Amino acid sequence: MNGRRHYAGGDLARALTIEDLRHMARRRLPRFLFEYVDGGAEDEVTLHRNRHAFANLALVPSTLVDVSNRSLAVDLFGRSVAAPLVVAPTGFNGLLSERADVALARAAARAGVPFTLSMASNVPLEEVASEAGGRLWMQLYWVRDRDFIRRLVARAQAASFEALVLTTDVQVSGGREWDRRNYRAGMALTLRNRLDVLAHPRWLWRIARHGGLPRFANLRELAPPDAATVVDDMVALGRNMDPSVNWEHLKWLRSLWPGRLLVKGVLSAADARSAIGHGADGVILSNHGGRQLDGAVSPLEVLPAIRDALGPEAVILLDGGVRRGVDVVKARALGATAVMTGRNGLYGVAAGGESGAARALEILRQEIDRALALLGTPDIETVDARVLHRRANSQSPATTSPLLEGVI
């Protein structure tokens, strides 16, 4: 042991990395809840593959370049964003911190980047819009009740949400086995986890003070009239998820929604072309953070082929495995318009509410800025595959994929 350890105290200013915020969150959250945020599906092969894909790429800096003035701004749907970041949709955030959805949205607005609200949020979309402002996107799961979809889309339009994000990779729930091991049956925690909750009195007091676990604020219409708890909401959502969703449904959604439309869950060039062909304005390469199909490819691995298929002007976002600013730079070099970040903000909001969420985005911004300076490429818009080198001796699962074939 070398004695090194990540900071896990209460001073957000001392959190130097996302990993520090992760340790702070782990200390503050009950075990079952941290597992929900942090874990992946089955053997977590895909969860780790997402990180390996970034680790397998090295950067080749240029020297004696004037980097005294640097720019992180990129164009996204015709408007400038302060950095190539978008806060990804994540559900049940109210478990982590009070009104966490608003906190994350406010942090994004302060950072000058878009925020995506999950359909499974704990704060109504109208309140997020009025209390946070900024560039707001709305995420949608496909459910059987088409009238509900119509109403939700109309609500998002009325609240001036800029974009709609259709998540397509949750036809059924992934096998999150480590998460499920925290429960005896249903939502009943094991004895060990009940005792662990008691060891986190601040979290328990906050939940009790607000009358129990927060409900899904935008899904009440799907639940039966006698639904009284979030468990009832979860059961109703599960029963309404529609595994028959297909490209014709995307065309119908396009007819309802006048704003920007993105398809999340794309991992092949063929699907990317189909998404654009059926009316999407952009695609989000995602394996759901390794929480759905274990063994799926990493979004970074398929990014070059999808960029080649869609052309230089297409909006292509990517999520999964991003923990450092250099990861964002690598994704940009391979053709991503911007990167979505989910868990990073959750670690921050769990560690310190809105200030913690802002700290997470600021850490990433600082790391991107520093990477551009040290890379000798002061404008992120000019970063491309010429700055990349694939490590020849990598032993990770990602090495079997032609990550940079035809790119470098």
Number of neighbours of residue 211 by Cβ within 10 angstroms: 8
Which residue is it, tokens 């199909």?
293
286 is in an annotated binding site: yes
277 is in an annotated binding site: no
169 is in an annotated binding site: no
Q: Please give the span between the terminal C-alpha atoms of the chain, in angstroms, as a whole number.
A: 39
Q: What is the DSSP letter of 369?
A: H
Q: Indicate which residue of 6, 48, 288, 389 is catalytic.
A: 288
139 is in an annotated binding site: yes
Report the run of H or E that residue 85 belongs to, with start and end: strand 85-87
36 is in an annotated binding site: yes
Q: Specify whether 288 is catalytic.
A: yes
341 is in an annotated binding site: no
Instruction: Please report the DSSP string for 130-168 in residue order.
Output: HHH-SSEEEEEE-BS-HHHHHHHHHHHHHTT--EEEEE-
- Read off φ and ψ for residue 249, nearest 5 degrees: -65, -35
Question: Per-residue b/e over 221-258, b at no fewer than 16 CB within 10 Å?
Answer: ebbeeebeebebbbbbbeebeeeebeeebbeebbeebe
Q: Give the integer Cα–Cα distance in Å for 360 and 105.
A: 13
Assign residue 80 a region: left if phi > 0, alpha if psi is -120 to 50, beta otherwise?
beta
Instruction: Please report the DSSP string for 26-69 in residue order.
Output: HHHS-HHHHHHHH--STT-HHHHHHHHHHHTEEE----S---SS
264 is in an annotated binding site: yes
Query: In this structure, what token pair is assigned to residue 31?
Result: 């075990």
Residues facing 59 on adjacent strands: 388
Q: Give the integer Cα–Cα distance in Å for 135 and 168.
A: 23
141 is in an annotated binding site: yes
343 is in an annotated binding site: yes
Q: What is the DSSP letter of 334?
A: T
167 is in an annotated binding site: yes
Q: Give the three-class secondary structure for 10.
A: coil
291 is in an annotated binding site: yes
112 is in an annotated binding site: no
Q: What are the binding residues for glyoxylate?
A: 36, 141, 167, 176, 288, 291
Please enumerate, by residue number, every residue annotated as part of a binding site for FMN.
89-91, 118, 139, 264, 286, 319-323, 342-343
Return the active site residues: 288
Binding site listing = 36, 89-91, 118, 139, 141, 167, 176, 264, 286, 288, 291, 319-323, 342-343
